[in-house]
Amino acid sequence: MRFKAVGGATLVLLALSAVPASAADKIGSAVRIVNKVTGEIDQQQRQLKTDDAVNQNEAIEVSSDSLGELKLNDDTKLALGPGARLVLDKFVYDPAPSTGTVSVNLLTGAFRFITGLSRKGNYQLRTPSASITVRGTIFDVYVDGAGGTWLLLLEGSVRVCNAANQCADVSNPCGVVHITPTGALNGPIGWPAEARPINFATAFPFVVTPPSIDATPLFTRTAVELNQCAPKQPPAQRAEAPPSPPSPPSPPQQSYAPPSPSYEVSEPSATPVVPVVTTTEATPAPWGGLYVGVVAGAVWQQPDPFLNCFDFTNPDPTVCSTDASFRIPGNFFSLNDTGFLGGAQIGYNVTFGNVVVGAEADIAYTSISTTTSFQQPFPCCVRDTFMHQELQSLSTVRARLGYTFENILLYATGGLAVGRVEYAFGLTDDQFVGGGFAGASNSQLRAGYTTGGGIEISFGQWSLKTEYLFYDLGQETLTAPFLIGGVPEPFTFRPEFDTQGHILRIGTNFPLN
C-alpha cells in the first residue's frame, strides 16, 4: 500500500509539473536590467530589477534608453533592445522529458532569441505580421513601428510565415527575411545595406553589441553586412588508427587522457567581452539624446510696411496719404527681400516608441538689408521718401514633436523667436524755404514666435534635415516729426513695419551620446 501511495503521489507531481503556469506563476527571471524596464500583468505595473521574476501573460516594455535580458525556466533566453515590447503569452515546461510550450508575442523593437530545453517545434513566436517556427536556433528579430518584421538568422534554422501562410525557410547563417506590414514576404536573402530602408544598428543592435546572455558573438557586423557568414564546421572526424604496432599503446593513451589546457582557458575568454556589453547601457535609441549641428538656408523677409502720419489739425492717421500737399501713397513701399541665413544649433530628444519629443535652440546670422524709396519730381524741386529695414540675426528656441519611420523623422516645431532688427525712415522736400526734413531710426532686439516643420534622416553617426519656419517679430512704428528749416511743424510721419518672414534651410546634426 505504501508503494502504491508513493507511486500515486509521484504521478500527481509529474502531472502538475506539466500544467501550464498561471498568470501569476514565475516562468523565468530578469538576468540583466539597464535603466528602466517595466512589467505589466492584470493592469498592475512594476519596474523590473535584475533577478526579479517574470510571469506568464506579463507584458515587458523597455524604455528608449534601456535594455533587458530574460531567462525562462527552460533556459530560453531573450534580449530586448531600446523601445522593445513583448508579451510572455504561454509557458508550459516539463523538465523530465524536456518538453513544453513557449509562446511569445513580439510587439515592437529589437530582440535576440536563444532557444532552451523545450522541444524546438513547441516554440511559438508571433509578430504583428509574421509567425516564426523555431528549430534549434539563435536569431534576431526587429519589428518596426508599422508592424513589419525583419529576421536575421545566426545559428540553426527557422521558418517564417505571413498571415496568408506563405513561408520561407532560413538555414544559412546571416540569412534575412522581411515581411512588410501588408504581408509581402521577401527572402531569405543576404544584407545588401544600400537596398535596406532601415538602419542596421537600430534593427540588430545585439550584432553590434552582444548581450551578456550571448556574450561571444557568432558573427561581426561586418561579416553580416558583407554576407560572409560561414556556417559552423562540425568537428573533424578522427581518422581510424592503423593497426597497432607491437609496442605497448599505453603512452599515446596517457598523453590524451588529461584535459586539454587550451579548453580550460577558453571558458574565461568570454569575460573580456563583458565590458564591451556595458556600453549598451549608455547607448540611447537612434533619435534620443543630446546633439549639436549647423544650419544654412534662405530667409525671405515680408514686412509689408505702411506710411501713416498724424496731422495735428486732422486726427485721421492716414491723412498724409491723400493730403494735397504731400500726395505720398502709404501702401506704396515694399521691403520684401531674400537673403542668406546660417548658424549653429543644439538640441535634446526623448523617444517614446516611435514618438520623439525634444527641444532645439539655434542662433543664426542673416544678410537681409532692404531700402525702398518714393521720389516725386516738381518743377521747382524733388521730394524723396525712403523706408529701410534690416534683419541682422535670428535665433529660436523651439519644442519639437515628431514620429519616426525607421531612420526618418517627421516633426512639427514651434516656439520663441528673437532677432535684431534695424528700422529707418527719411523724407526730404526742397519746395520749402530752408528745406523740409523728417527722419527716424531704431535698432533693437525683438521677440516673437516661430512655427513650422521638417523631415530629418539619420545615417547613424549624423543626420540631415530640411526645415521650414515662419517667424513673426511683431510690428514697429517710428515717429518722425516734419521740420522746415529745422523748425517743427504740426505734422508727424509714423511709418509702420511688420517684421515677419519665411525660412527654408537644411541642417546637419551630430549625436553626442
Within 13 A of 288's CA, how many CA atoms are on the CB side?
Answer: 17
In terms of domains, do 432 and 501 share one? yes
In terms of domains, do 71 and 172 share one? yes
Q: How many CB atoms lie within 10 A of CB 306?
A: 20
* pLDDT score recorded for residue 267: 37
- Does residue 233 register a pLDDT over 60? no
Q: Which amino acid is at 101?
A: T
In terms of domains, do 116 and 23 share one? yes
* pLDDT score recorded for residue 433: 77
Domain boundary among 179, 197, 228: 228
* Domain assignment of residue 235, yes or no: no
- CA–CA dist 47, 33 (Å, integer): 10
- CA–CA dist 230, 215 (Å, integer): 19
Q: For 362-489, where are the alpha helices, taking DSSP H only?
A: none
Please name the residues in contact with 485: beta carbons below 8 A apart, sequence gap of 6 or more. Answer: 432, 433, 434, 435
Lowest mean pLDDT among 55-64, 275-284, 399-408, 499-508: 275-284
Average pLDDT score over residue span 204-224: 87
Q: How confident is the model at residue 337 (pLDDT cuts 50, 70, 90)?
A: confident
* pLDDT score recorded for residue 463: 93
- CA–CA dist 37, 413 (Å, integer): 30
Whether the bond into 234 is cis, omega within 30 of 0: no
Domain boundary among 202, 228, 254: 228
* Number of domains observed in the structure of the chain: 2
- CA–CA dist 281, 495 (Å, integer): 60
The residue segments making up the domain with residue 449 are: 289-511
In terms of domains, do 372 and 445 share one? yes
* Domain assignment of residue 360, yes or no: yes
Answer with the residue of higher pLDDT: 393 or 335: 393
* Domain assignment of residue 9, yes or no: no
- Does residue 31 register a pLDDT over 70? yes
* Domain assignment of residue 267, yes or no: no
* pLDDT score recorded for residue 434: 79
Answer with the residue of higher pLDDT: 376 or 40: 40
Rounded to the nearest integer, the mean pLDDT of the chain is 79
Is the full-model pTM beyond 0.85? no
In terms of domains, do 325 and 212 share one? no
Q: Which of 67-76, 119-128, 232-241 is predicted most confidently?
A: 67-76
* pLDDT score recorded for residue 403: 95
**Residue with C-alpha cell 561571444?**
216
- Does residue 376 register a pLDDT over 80? no
Lowest mean pLDDT among 107-111, 152-156, 311-315, 501-505: 311-315
- Does residue 14 register a pLDDT over 80? no
The C-alpha cell at 437 is 526734413
In terms of domains, do 212 and 357 share one? no
Dump pLDDT digits (tens) for 234-273: 444 444 444 445 544 444 433 333 333 333 333 333 333 3
Average pLDDT score over residue span 370-397: 83
CATH of the domain at 171: 2.60.120.1440
Q: How confident is the model at residue 133 (pLDDT cuts 50, 70, 90)?
A: confident
Average pLDDT score over residue span 218-239: 68
In terms of domains, do 340 and 216 share one? no
- Does residue 401 register a pLDDT over 90? yes
Lowest mean pLDDT among 4-18, 215-229, 333-347, 370-384: 4-18
CA–CA distances in Å: residue 359 to residues 60, 331, 362? 29, 40, 10
CATH of the domain at 350: 2.40.160.20
In terms of domains, do 207 and 320 share one? no
In terms of domains, do 219 and 351 share one? no
8 A C-beta contact, residue 341 and residue 365: yes
CA dihedral 204, 208, 209, 213 (to 10 degrees): 50
Q: How many CB atoms lie within 10 A of CB 163?
A: 12
Collapsing DSSP to helix, strand or coil, 493 comes out as strand
* Domain assignment of residue 262, yes or no: no
In terms of domains, do 147 and 29 share one? yes
Answer with the residue of higher pLDDT: 111 or 427: 111
CA dihedral 207, 208, 209, 213 (to 10 degrees): 0
8 A C-beta contact, residue 390 and residue 368: yes
In terms of domains, do 333 and 472 share one? yes
* Domain assignment of residue 251, yes or no: no
Domain boundary among 183, 204, 228: 228
Residue count of the chain, please give it.
513
- Does residue 385 register a pLDDT over 60? yes
* Domain assignment of residue 252, yes or no: no
8 A C-beta contact, residue 417 and residue 394: yes
* pLDDT score recorded for residue 205: 92
Q: Which amino acid is at 320?
A: C
* Domain assignment of residue 46, yes or no: yes
Q: Which amino acid is at 483?
A: L
Q: How confident is the model at residue 340 (pLDDT cuts 50, 70, 90)?
A: very high
- Does residue 326 register a pLDDT over 90? no
**Residue with C-alpha cell 604496432?**
245
In terms of domains, do 77 and 181 share one? yes
